[in-house]
A and B are shown apart, each in its own frame.
Chain A
């Protein structure tokens, strides 16, 4: 009897100690001062990966490697009235606005984007959650559009404003709240030859689930950087003034702005 109660006591003690350890650990996860140290790894990774492959091309695949179904993730269909009206017109009334620190602000219709020199590439889409899908993307290089607009001095980032209010995803945990999706990249990735404004997936016009009428492809970063439903592109000197200033929807919820890993 004594043995059993002693064992129980030990068990309770173990659970209590384990619980205290968990609470202490979770405290580390929420610590702001530690957070700064932990986040320093992001700039180390950016510098390292730029040093070993600033201009490197993402691997390209063959048609035989295509995912049978390219997974739809994030917003499946923007419910906003403005987007729904554009969708009803087959995106005939959609115009891509290019503004900010540019000499010639642009308003481009879908046929104009398709009239530019096109690039087709079969690449993998690497989700932050760990899954991988392979798709064939077609569209003009972002660099061509930025050249046409003409960057002004001070330009450092390109911000993509999207049509969808997004509410997050339970499987990722962490902070969950709704706001307009947006993303941003720096000029190294903006002028990378594989960075496209894709209007086609696997040879067909982009479906609504995958970002119609256009989605950004920035092939050396994770899936959340591949903004869908792009409505406007702003060339800027600073990311302050968009969302909470971290450069993207997921970045405002704790994810790295540089998503090369």
Chain B
């Protein structure tokens, strides 16, 4: 015996309203990890500058030319200094950015990554390492807190984990086309993550950050003794170092796309939602 009242849809707000999108735990860990990753990437580039060569195989040092697969350096071509990146047999001239750039004081700077991309801005392996390992601890501890909270609160299952059907080729293709047209979910649809967001955030949380941490530990001689299985997984310390660089690049790429999407989707609403938690929904805005 359904009463008339029960069959009526609950009244839906017609006016724009603020929706509680991000919990305080998500917001806090987001910004702590953002700071940590900013320092980890920039100190990582400074550390790389101390030996701007990557190897594949059990060993790899400057006398070993066979196992080197990537090199960033500078060379003299017909009396002109050039910066270059060499990957395998392919050499690309990158003067101005990679291999040879300028210091803030406009002096020639023969260094792999330019001063504006590194922390500190000048060569300083000791300081870069100290900050790198401090923020590595921050990333690991904050990351574990985030994971624990996300599992316990259901954030992971409810918001991030793809639901049945979402991973279908059709749904992914639909979302790719929508992103390409810069059509972002509006109205009530903007309350939840769509599949590309789930894959991107899930990829960072479950693939890229674990990979960058494990490959980082794979370079530590004491960790190699305590947990040799990490070396077994990646094959060697030079391999772990190479994959650490690849994972860091993927995280950097994610950050670029992430920031671009924030700007395109409405930076004020997006950034506010990660600070105050509140996200403005306009029910009348159709997709």
A-side interface residues toward B, CB under 8 Å?
A: 18-19, 22-23, 25-26, 29, 35, 37-42, 44-45, 49, 52-53, 56-59, 61, 65-69, 71, 124, 126-134, 170-175, 219-222, 250, 253-256, 259-261
Q: Is the CB of A253 within 8 A of B58?
A: no
**CB pairs A–B below 8 angstroms (11 shown):** A23-B104, A42-B130, A49-B220, A52-B223, A127-B51, A130-B241, A132-B55, A171-B51, A220-B224, A261-B133, A261-B221
Residues of A within 8 A of B238 (CB): 131-132
Q: Is the CB of B59 within 8 A of A26?
A: no
Which one of A44, A127, A171 contacts B123 once the chains associate, using CB atoms below 8 Å? A171
B260 contacts partner chain A, Cβ-Cβ < 8 Å: no
How distant is A170 from chain B, measured CB to nearest CB, in Å?
A: 8
Question: Which of B91-99, B113-121, B168-176 lies at the interface?
Answer: B113-121
How distant is B104 from chain A, measured CB to nearest CB, in Å?
A: 5
How distant is A128 from chain B, measured CB to nearest CB, in Å?
A: 7
Q: Is the CB of A29 within 8 A of B63?
A: no
Which one of A26, A69, A256 contacts B130 once the chains associate, using CB atoms below 8 Å? A256
Q: Is the CB of B133 within 8 A of A42?
A: yes
Closest to A44 in B: B137
Closest to A126 in B: B221
Q: Which of A66, A127, A171, A253 counts the most chain B CB atoms within 10 A?
A: A171
B228 contacts partner chain A, Cβ-Cβ < 8 Å: yes
How distant is A76 from chain B, measured CB to nearest CB, in Å?
A: 14
Q: Is the CB of B61 within 8 A of A41?
A: no
In the complex, A52 Cα to B225 Cα: how many Å?
A: 10
In the complex, A49 Cα to B223 Cα: how many Å?
A: 7
Residues of B within 8 A of A128 (CB): 50, 125, 129
B134 contacts partner chain A, Cβ-Cβ < 8 Å: yes
Residues of A within 8 A of B133 (CB): 41-42, 45, 256, 261
In the complex, A53 Cα to B51 Cα: how many Å?
A: 29
Q: Report the count of interface residues on B (CB-CB < 8 A).
A: 50
Q: Is the CB of B225 within 8 A of A57?
A: yes
In the complex, A250 Cα to B130 Cα: how many Å?
A: 13
Residues of A within 8 A of B120 (CB): 25-26, 29
Residues of B within 8 A of A261 (CB): 133, 217, 219-223
Q: Is the CB of B129 within 8 A of A256?
A: yes
Q: Which of B63, B64, B222, B238 counts the most chain A CB atoms within 10 A?
A: B222
Beyond A132-B236, A220-B224, 19 extra complex contacts between A and B, CB < 8 Å = A18-B116, A19-B104, A22-B104, A23-B104, A26-B121, A39-B134, A65-B58, A67-B63, A68-B64, A69-B63, A124-B224, A126-B237, A129-B125, A130-B50, A132-B241, A254-B126, A255-B125, A256-B129, A261-B133
Residues of A within 8 A of B59 (CB): 65-67, 124, 132-134
In the complex, A171 Cα to B130 Cα: how many Å?
A: 17
Q: Is the CB of B131 within 8 A of A52?
A: no
Residues of A within 8 A of B116 (CB): 18, 22
B71 contacts partner chain A, Cβ-Cβ < 8 Å: no
Closest to B220 in A: A261
How distant is B32 from chain A, measured CB to nearest CB, in Å?
A: 14
Q: Is the CB of A132 within 8 A of B125?
A: no
If the complex has contacts A53-B225, A173-B124, A221-B221, are A131 and B61 also in contact, measured as CB distance less than 8 A? Answer: yes
Residues of A within 8 A of B61 (CB): 67, 71, 127, 131-133
How distant is B271 from chain A, measured CB to nearest CB, in Å?
A: 19
Closest to A18 in B: B116
Q: Is the CB of B64 within 8 A of A67?
A: yes
How distant is B116 from chain A, measured CB to nearest CB, in Å?
A: 6
B231 contacts partner chain A, Cβ-Cβ < 8 Å: yes
In the complex, A146 Cα to B218 Cα: how many Å?
A: 32
Task: Please give me the 10 A-B residue pairs with the lowest Cβ-Cβ distance, nearest first.
Answer: A173-B123, A53-B226, A260-B222, A254-B126, A261-B220, A131-B61, A129-B51, A29-B120, A56-B225, A41-B134
If the complex has contacts A67-B59, A68-B63, A256-B130, are A52 and B125 also in contact, measured as CB distance less than 8 A? Answer: no
In the complex, A40 Cα to B62 Cα: how many Å?
A: 33
Residues of B within 8 A of A58 (CB): 221, 224-225
Residues of A within 8 A of B19 (CB): none
B47 contacts partner chain A, Cβ-Cβ < 8 Å: yes
In the complex, A175 Cα to B55 Cα: how many Å?
A: 28
In the complex, A255 Cα to B50 Cα: how many Å?
A: 14
In the complex, A22 Cα to B129 Cα: how many Å?
A: 18
In the complex, A131 Cα to B237 Cα: how many Å?
A: 9
